[in-house]
Copies of this chain bind each other. A is one copy, B any other.
Amino acid sequence: MERLGGAVRACSRRAVVITDTNVGPLYAPKALQSLAAAGVQADAIDFAAGEPSKTLFTLAALFDKLFALRPAIDRRTAIVALGGGVVGDMAGLLAATALRGLPWVQCPTTLLADVDASVGGKTGVDHPAGKNLIGAFHQPRAVVIDVDALATLDAANVRSGLAECVKHAVICDAELLEWLWQRHEALLACEPRTMTELVARNVAIKARVVASDEREAGARAYLNLGHTVGHAVETLLGYGGVTHGQAVALGMMVACKLSERRGLMTPAQAERVSGVLERLGLETRRSGLDAEAILNIVQHDKKARAGVVRMVLPRELGAVELLDVGPQELRGALAVLE
């Protein structure tokens, strides 16, 4: 957090920290102190923590608070996103649309935000018709990650972030999969040196993929591994019913099963993925999940056409492909979750 002030000062002398009611009490004082020490005049604005806040109405309330600040903000004012993925999405959209675009700096405080949301410039809010339907691409000027903030993160959210790291490994870095397998104890304990290396490796992977395809026309779609079924599981279990990473872990199990059946992966390779997930405290099956309900949600996804879904499937470990999957094939693979 000490480096936040310097990173913001590189683009502005004035900043507004956007945070939520969970993270604010824990880290806003440190963030403001770091900004003040760097000569940045800063205010903090918060909103109620949690995915249900990610709406246009919360955004409207943030605009009210932002434009009520004195002295008034101007186009050089920087927005600082201090929190997890929801804060990053909200603050990023605020920065994208306040005065037609302000510079912004991300300061993520969850492992999931560190390794995933912090890279790529996606911002947005939810609409009753779907998640992230309203948003913009708006790249932050800097991302300041302090793994010490993980000390206050609960275990379920640590595991949620680790699931995305497993995803990165399966997509393009088989060696990272072994590294995760070996370091599981240090990872679950959030040992600072291990987390620093973890974050550095994963940010590098995500940045490489996003840089090659910022607007999601091609390779960026690979990052959706586990997300087609994962999103359906999240929809089915509802907010609070499952973490994002846990849902993605279940989605990866289905993707691996599809690959195994198509001969893209050996059973041993698919087992290695489930083994790593289990070592990292993630469920690889979940009783009571209704396969037909998942199938139904997936087929109404915006990416589905005539019941056929384009999914990311692993080809061995460390490589993936985008392939069309029909309803019967998907139904069969969903049995792996039972």
Q: Which A residues are closer than 8 A to B by beta carbons?
A: 56-57, 59-60, 63-64, 67-68, 72, 74, 93, 96-101, 122-124, 127-130, 132-137, 302
Quick one: which of A97, A127, A136, A302 has the most chain B CB within 10 A? A97
Neighbouring B residues of A72 by C-beta, 8 Å: 129, 302
In the complex, the answer to whether A101 meets B137 with C-beta atoms within 8 Å is yes
Q: Which B residues touch A129, using CB under 8 A?
A: 67-68, 72
Minimum Cβ distance to chain B for residue A121 (Å): 10
- Cβ contact of A122, chosen from B59, B100, B137, cutoff 8 A: B100
Could you say how many copies of this chain the assembly holds? 2
For the complex, give the distance between the alpha carbons of A20 and B99 in Å.
24
User: What are 5 pairs between A and B in contact, CB < 8 Å?
Assistant: A67-B133, A68-B129, A72-B302, A97-B134, A100-B136
Q: Contact partner of A100 among B100, B124, B302, CB < 8 A?
A: B124
On whether the beta carbons of A302 and B101 are closer than 8 Å, the reply is no
Contact status of A98 and B133, CB under 8 A, knowing A56-B63, A60-B56: yes
When distances are taken between beta carbons in the complex, the residues of chain B under 8 Å from A64 are 127-128
A147 to chain B, nearest CB (A): 29
Cβ 8 A contact of A133, one of B93, B99, B123, B128: B99
